[in-house]
C-alpha cells in the first residue's frame, strides 16, 4: 500500500475511540492493505469512526478536556460576530450601517447554533421504542463545568438581546 494511502487509513482510524483502536487497528490495517483501500473504504472508515465516537459520547463516556475546551472555543467563535454587531449597535447606535439582508436571519441564528454546540457534550438524547411500539424520547443532562455554564449564559443572553431587539424593531415598524 502506498505511503499516502496508509497515512489516510491511519488518519481515519484515529477517529475511532482509543479502546477500539487498541483492539482492532492492526487488523484493519492488514485487511485494508491486502484489499487495497479505495476512496469508498476511506469514507466508510471515517464514518464508522465518527459513529463509534458519537456512540461512546452518547453513553456518557468521559470526554477528554481538550475536546471539551475545543467545543467551548468553537461555540464562542460562532457567537462572536453577533456579539460584535450587538456591541457596536449598543455603543454607537445609527453609526453602524445595516448589514446585508442575509444578516437578518444570520444574526439570531449564530447564538442559537453556538448554544447547541456548547450543550452538545452534556445533553444526551435517546430515542427508543417500548414493548407496545410507542416511540419514547429521553434526555439526560450531565453536570456542567463553570466554563460551560459561562458560555451557555453568554449565548442565552446574546440570543435574548437579539430576539428582543428584533421584536422591538418590528413593533416600532408596525407603529409607524
Read off the pLDDT of residues 26-81 as tens digits, 9 standing for 90 and up: 888 888 777 777 777 778 888 888 777 766 765 655 666 777 778 888 888 888 88
Output the average pLDDT for the chain: 78
Res 112 pLDDT > 80:
yes
Let me know: does 134 contact 148? Beta carbons within 8 Å.
Answer: no
Domain boundaries of the chain, sorted by first residue: 3-58, 65-175
User: Are 161 and 89 within 8 A, CB to CB?
Assistant: no
pLDDT at position 95, please? 65
Rounded alpha-carbon distances, angstroms, from residue 41 to 8, 9, 19, 45, 135: 11, 9, 21, 6, 34
Q: Which residue has the higher pLDDT, 172 or 8?
A: 8
Residue 138 parent element (H or E): strand 135-141
User: Which residue has 488518519 as its cell numbers?
Assistant: 11
- Dist. CA 22–CA 79, nearest whole Å: 38
pLDDT band at 18 (very low <50, low <70, confident <90, very high): confident
Would you state the cell numbers that stand for residue 101, as one nine-digit string? Answer: 439582508
Amino acid at each position: 500500500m502506498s505511503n499516502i494511502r496508509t497515512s489516510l487509513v491511519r488518519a481515519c482510524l484515529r477517529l475511532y475511540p482509543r479502546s477500539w483502536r487498541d483492539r482492532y487497528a492492526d487488523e484493519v490495517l492488514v485487511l485494508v492493505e491486502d484489499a487495497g483501500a479505495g476512496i469508498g473504504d476511506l469514507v466508510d472508515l471515517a464514518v464508522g469512526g465518527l459513529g463509534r465516537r458519537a456512540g461512546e459520547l452518547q453513553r456518557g463516556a468521559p470526554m477528554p478536556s481538550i475536546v471539551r475546551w475545543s467545543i467551548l472555543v468553537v461555540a464562542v467563535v460562532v457567537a462572536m460576530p453577533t456579539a460584535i454587531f450587538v456591541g457596536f449597535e449598543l455603543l454607537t447606535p445609527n453609526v453602524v450601517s445595516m448589514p446585508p439582508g442575509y444578516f437578518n436571519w444570520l444574526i439570531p441564528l449564530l447564538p442559537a447554533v453556538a448554544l447547541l454546540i456548547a450543550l452538545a457534550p452534556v445533553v444526551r438524547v435517546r430515542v427508543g421504542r417500548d414493548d407496545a411500539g410507542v416511540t419514547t424520547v429521553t434526555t439526560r443532562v450531565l453536570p456542567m463545568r463553570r466554563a460551560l455554564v459561562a458560555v451557555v449564559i453568554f449565548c442565552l443572553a446574546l440570543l435574548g438581546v437579539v430576539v428582543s431587539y428584533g421584536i422591538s424593531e418590528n413593533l416600532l415598524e408596525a407603529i409607524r
